[in-house]
Amino acid sequence: MSSTNVGRITIHDVAAAASVSIATASKALNDTGRMSVETRARIRRVAQELGFRPNALARSLLSKRSFTVGLLTNDTYGRFTLPVMAGISEGLIDHGVSVFLCAIEDNPDLAKLHVDAMLDKQVDGIIATGRRIDKPLPVDLSHLPIPIVYALMTGPADAVALVPDDRQGARDAVNHLFDKGRRRLVHVTGPASFKVVEERTHAFRDALATAGMTPSEAQILTGAWSEQWGREAVEKLWSQENPPDGIFCGNDQIARGVIDALREKDVGVPNDVSVVGFDNWEIVAEQTRPPLTTVDMNLKELGRQAGRALVRLVNGEIVEPGVSKLPCTLVIRGS
């Protein structure tokens, strides 16, 4: 009895049970080779009854495809990364591809450890993602023998990268303020050193210019990504004359601070001032008073597309290199 094996049942067991060779069994199960329909059906039935599942390791060894990819991230907090990761996982499992989670802090040694482990385990490709679009991971992936896709992050110039279309999102936000009849707009955002700040600021200026206005530097306030900065910005704006009637915030936390500060000043939102955020961080956006109108970066979809792009690369299909910008969506709530 081969059933004394403690291990899982193999194709040998199936072959034996069906009284055929393992070659025939393999061919029956993979719908290749030539044999009578009866034989094929019988082998399949036996395999089914035994609950046979082929060992992916053995298969990969031969095919040089592990149907496994690595996901490298330096984001342990995960507000942005987790939706991306979920999207990747979702988009790939349909292709039978599994995802190795590699949480590297900002530690180069840890990163190398993970990359080596992945290569040893023969991953077909790697997706790199991180906390910050413009800050590279502490490891160079550009000379690896497998394809790389950057998600929510840009890599070398000729690499495939997917990021949200910050400009379009910001434009939509500003245009929404225009639609509400707001004309005295300001942009309260994060540190100027961030790429996304640059992008959103650029779009802010652009949208104003398109509307026939000449944006001034005083309309753009950079600070921290925090509620506190949002509150401070309101103090500053309302301490000078002619405060704005529309505020586009660089993220939802700032917007939260802005809204709280306005509330404390008895400035009505959205009656006197309209506020738009960025990120659609629901747990914040839904709990502001009023609920925050904000820009959603569709991160899950971004993850899904990153997964698909990587699969195409692995399959040897050509994917246009460079940075692809995925559309953002304005989520209109009460502010």
Binding partner of residue 145 among DNA, its own copies, none, CB under 5 to 8 Å per kind?
its own copies
The residue with tokens 């995925």 is: 326
The nearer residue to DNA, 6 or 157, going by C-beta atoms, is 6
The reply on whether position 23 binds its own copies by CB under 8 A is no
Binding partner of residue 268 among DNA, its own copies, none, CB under 5 to 8 Å per kind?
none
Q: Tokens at residue 26, please? A: 């393999």
Tell me how far, at minimum, the Cβ of 51 lies from its own copies, in Å: 11
Instruction: Please give the residues from 164 up to 203 whose contact with its own copies meets the rule CB under 8 A.
Output: none
> Residue 7 to residues 55, 62, 72, 228: CA-CA distances in angstroms?
11, 21, 33, 59
Binding partner of residue 68 among its own copies, DNA, none, CB under 5 to 8 Å per kind?
its own copies
- Interhelix angle 252-264/227-239, rounded to 10 degrees, is 50
Tell me how far, at minimum, the Cβ of 67 lies from its own copies, in Å: 8
The nearer residue to its own copies, 2 or 228, going by C-beta atoms, is 228
> Residue 189 to residues 79, 221, 252, 256: CA-CA distances in angstroms?
18, 6, 10, 12
Pairing relationship of beta strands 329-331 and 293-296 according to DSSP bridges: antiparallel
Q: Are 44 and 31 in contact (CB under 8 A)?
A: no
- 3-class secondary-structure state, position 241: coil
Instruction: Please give the residues from 3 up to 42 whose contact with DNA meets the rule CB under 7 A.
Output: 7-8, 10-12, 19-24, 26-27, 29-30, 32-36, 39
* Amino acid in the structure at residue 203: A
Tell me how far, at minimum, the Cβ of 312 lies from DNA, in Å: 21
Binding partner of residue 304 among its own copies, DNA, none, CB under 5 to 8 Å per kind?
none
Tell me how far, at minimum, the Cβ of 267 lies from its own copies, in Å: 15
Q: Are 277 and 292 in contact (CB under 8 A)?
A: yes
Instruction: Please give the residues from 42 up to 101 whose contact with DNA meets the rule CB under 7 A.
Output: 52-55, 58-59, 61-63
* Largest interatomic CA distance in the chain: 91
Among 117, 192, 209, 332, binds its own copies (CB under 8 A): 117
- 3-class secondary-structure state, position 271: coil
Q: How many H-runs (helices) and E-runs (strands) does the chain carry?
A: 12, 12
What's the per-residue H, E or C state across 310-331?
HHHHHCCCCCCCEEEEECCEEE
The reply on whether position 85 binds its own copies by CB under 8 A is yes
The nearer residue to its own copies, 122 or 175, going by C-beta atoms, is 122
Interface positions with its own copies (CB under 8 A): 7-8, 53-58, 60-61, 64, 66, 68, 71, 76-79, 81-83, 85-86, 89-90, 93, 96, 98-103, 110, 113-114, 116-122, 145, 226-228, 253, 257, 260, 264, 283, 287, 300
